[in-house]
Structure formats: structure tokens, C-alpha cells
């Protein structure tokens, strides 16, 4: 019965199957000039298509009231995690999505038609590797030869690689089992996986519903970044570019509201995605991301992670992350940037 909670908040992503063939084969002949912004009053007939995970972006915007007066319509589609969002962006099915630090790297490796346009950060404490409370595994080194469930191309995938590297291991020293969150939850609970690399709110849900313990957190190991990612098609369209410039500011203001009104936010988040209030509070108390500039520090950190994925054979080629970054919205977001990282 516990797995039903997970399945209720992770919408099926059958769309991924129809999009896979569209992901690679980057054929753009360079980026067009940034289109001039148009008056917001001209966006009344526009529908901006936003990819979401676990209701995170939509619930945050609605809780803060940031969708109440938007001069355009916003249509949300729910995905289980970041990689299918990158697929949908490249295929032109959505215009924008917020992901973790790893999906854009997989997108860059496949030459996806995307750009990272906004950055966010937290201390990464919600990204964890979990084991059963009775497990003999007490360190990352103990994972040698063990089955570790993880979402391929997710931030947890990046966290796992970084922890293995820190312990002197590689992905070849373990048995990775690539599963979506609901299936990984079941695998760990039934002993079909020895460990699970995962992120909030799933970390919090597992903590409240399963007998698990935290092996390690990503704090101090992973960079804790999240990214707003847009399709190149949307960025070249004057109306959609204008709407995106407005939307990233609304997300930044909503994050500031949530930080200033934590208890109200926890309650609204729990109700919006249908999870236990205690799990919602645990997740959002540590995993709410604040906006940061897309600067050299961010790009360099992501490049190191991309290099690690390439070195481990998890992606093809060695993408240059900066080629997939567009900081056109940095100026309008400056007032919202986190004071520290």
C-alpha cells in the first residue's frame, strides 16, 4: 500500500517513448539573436507550456499567488523526473521546465535543443543515498557489488557518481539499477535493491513510510544546483521569450514567499501534491531552492560533473556545458539572487 502514495504523485510519462527519437540529432545552425521583448499586454492569447515534477513548480507559484495575475496562460504537464522533461523540450512539447543539476548534462550530451536560462541552489541535503535500517552497508565503500537503484540522468545519478568517486569507486564497482522513483521505492522496500539514490520529496516520503536510514547526503559533495531550462524554439519567439522572462521572475518571487512563510508553504505543498504534511515539511524545509546567477562558478561546477559522467561512460562524448547556457535573464533576476550559496 505504501507504494500507492508514490504512484499517486508521479504521473506516467509515456510521452517519453514518443519523444526519444526526437531528442538527438541537433541540427540548429547556431543561435538566433535574442528577440526584443514585447509588451506583456500582447501575451493575452499566449499559452506557455511548463513541465513540472510532483507539482513542485505549479504548487509553488499557486501558493504564492504568482499565477493570479499572469498576463498569459500557463499549461502544466507533470513528469516523473528531469530527463523526460529534456526530451519534451527538445521535441517542442513544452517551453520550460525546472530540473536538477544532471538532466541538462544528459541533454547537452545528446545535443538537445535546449538552453539553461536560470539557476537555483540549496544545500543538497535532501539528495541522499538510503539503505534499509537493518542493512550491513554503513559506508559508500560497502556498496561495492551491491544493487543501487537510481533514476538514470537524474540529480541522484550525479550524486551517486560523486559519492563513488569520493570513496575511490566507480559505477563499475556497483550494480546500478535504473528505476523511476515509484519503482525504486518498491525495490528498496522489498529488498530488491540494496540502496537507493534519491531526492526530495521522495527522500522525505521514504523516511516517513519505510524503515530506512541515510547512508550519505549530497551536502558538500554535489553542488545542489537546479536549473530552469527552455527550448531553443521558445527562446527565439518574441512572445514566448517575453513570457519566460516574466515567469522566471515569478518563480523567484514565489521562492522568496515560501522562504518567508514556511508553515503556510508546507501545508499548501502537502495539499497540492497529496502527501503527508510531515513529509512535505521535511522535504521543503531543506530542498527549497533560491535563485542564483548563471555565472562562471556554476558553469565550471557543472562542467566537472559532465566530465565525470563522460569519464564513467554514462554519456556519449564530452559536452561543453557552457554551450547550453543562456544568461539573458540574469539582469532581470539580479534582485532575487541568493546572498550566499
pLDDT of residue 21: 37
Percent of the chain clearing pLDDT 70 (strictly above): 90
Cis before 201? omega within 30:
yes
The answer to whether 309 and 154 are in contact (CB under 8 A) is no
Domain ranges (residues) in the chain:
11-122+224-336, 128-217
Is residue 67 over pLDDT 60? yes
CA angle 290–291–296, rounded 5-degree value: 125
Q: Residue 191 burial (CB < 10 Å; 0-12/13-18/19+)?
A: exposed
Measure the CA–CA gap between 62 and 69, rounded to whole angstroms: 11
Question: Could you give the 3-state DSSP secondary structure of residue 67?
Answer: coil
Q: Rounded mean pLDDT of 251-258?
A: 98
pLDDT of residue 290: 94
Q: Report whether CATH 3.30.70.1450 matches the domain 11-122+224-336.
A: no
Q: Do the domains spanning 11-122+224-336 and 128-217 agree at the CATH topology level?
A: yes
pLDDT of residue 54: 83
At residue 145, φ and ψ (nearest 5 deg) are 80, 0
pLDDT in tens, 265-284: 999 999 999 999 999 999 99
At residue 124, φ and ψ (nearest 5 deg) are 65, 15
pLDDT of residue 338: 75
Q: Rounded mean pLDDT of 285-305?
A: 96
Is residue 189 over pLDDT 80? yes
Percent of the chain clearing pLDDT 90 (strictly above): 88
Is residue 320 over pLDDT 50? yes
Q: 128-217 sits in which CATH class?
A: alpha beta
pLDDT of residue 28: 40
Non-local (6+) Cβ contacts of 271 within 8 A are none
Question: Could you give the 3-state DSSP secondary structure of residue 230?
Answer: strand
Average pLDDT, the chain: 92
pLDDT of residue 33: 81
Non-local (6+) Cβ contacts of 34 within 8 A are 235, 241, 328
Non-local (6+) Cβ contacts of 237 within 8 A are 35
Q: Residue 133 burial (CB < 10 Å; 0-12/13-18/19+)?
A: exposed
Is residue 23 over pLDDT 80? no
pLDDT in tens, 85-142: 999 999 999 999 999 999 999 999 999 999 999 999 999 999 999 999 999 999 999 9
Question: Could you give the 3-state DSSP secondary structure of residue 328?
Answer: coil
pLDDT of residue 31: 52
Measure the CA–CA gap between 148 and 143, rounded to whole angstroms: 8
Is residue 188 over pLDDT 90? yes
pLDDT of residue 258: 98
Q: 317: which 3 cell numbers?
A: 562524448
Amino acid at each position: 500500500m505504501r507504494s500507492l502514495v508514490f504512484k499517486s504523485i508521479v504521473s506516467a510519462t509515456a510521452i517519453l517513448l514518443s519523444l526519444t527519437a526526437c531528442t538527438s540529432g541537433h541540427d540548429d545552425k547556431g543561435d538566433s539573436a535574442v528577440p526584443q521583448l514585447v509588451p506583456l499586454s500582447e501575451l493575452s492569447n499566449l499559452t506557455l507550456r511548463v513541465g513540472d515534477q510532483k507539482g513542485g513548480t505549479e504548487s509553488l507559484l499557486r501558493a504564492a499567488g504568482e499565477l493570479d495575475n499572469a498576463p498569459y496562460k500557463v499549461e502544466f504537464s507533470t513528469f516523473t523526473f528531469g530527463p523526460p522533461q529534456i526530451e519534451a523540450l527538445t521535441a517542442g512539447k513544452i517551453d520550460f521546465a525546472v530540473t536538477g543539476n544532471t538532466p541538462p548534462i544528459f541533454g547537452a550530451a545528446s545535443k538537445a535543443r535546449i538552453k539553461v536560462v536560470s539557476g537555483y541552489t540549496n544545500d543538497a541535503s535532501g539528495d541522499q543515498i538510503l539503505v534499509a535500517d537493518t542493512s550491513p552497508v554503513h559506508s559508500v565503500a560497502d556498496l561495492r557489488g551491491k544493487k543501487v537503484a537510481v533514476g538514470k540522468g537524474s540529480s541522484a545519478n550525479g550524486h551517486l557518481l560523486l559519492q563513488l568517486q569520493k570513496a575511490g569507486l566507480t559505477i563499475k564497482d556497483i550494480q546500478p539499477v535504473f528505476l523511476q522513483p515509484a519503482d525504486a521505492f518498491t525495490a528498496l522496500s522489498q529488498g530488491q535493491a540494496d540502496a537507493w539514490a534519491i531526492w526530495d520529496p521522495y527522500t522525505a516520503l521514504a523516511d516517513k513510510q519505510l524503515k530506512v536510514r541515510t547512508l550519505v547526503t549530497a551536502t558538500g559533495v554535489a553542488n545542489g544546483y537546479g536549473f530552469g531550462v527552455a527550448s531553443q524554439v521558445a527562446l527565439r519567439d518574441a512572445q514566448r521569450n517575453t513570457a519566460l522572462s516574466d515567469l522566471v521572475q515569478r518563480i523567484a518571487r514565489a521562492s522568496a514567499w515560501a522562504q518567508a512563510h514556511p508553515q503556510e508553504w508546507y501545508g499548501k505543498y502537502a495539499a497540492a501534491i497529496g502527501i503527508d504534511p510531515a513529509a512535505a515539511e521535511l522535504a521543503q524545509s531543506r530542498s527549497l531552492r533560491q535563485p542564483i546567477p548563471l555565472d562562471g562558478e556554476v558553469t565550471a561546477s557543472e562542467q566537472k560533473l559532465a566530465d565525470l559522467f563522460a569519464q564513467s561512460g554514462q554519456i556519449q562524448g564530452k559536452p561543453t556545458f557552457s554551450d547550453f547556457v543562456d544568461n539573458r535573464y540574469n539582469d532581470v533576476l539580479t534582485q532575487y539572487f541568493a546572498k550566499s550559496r
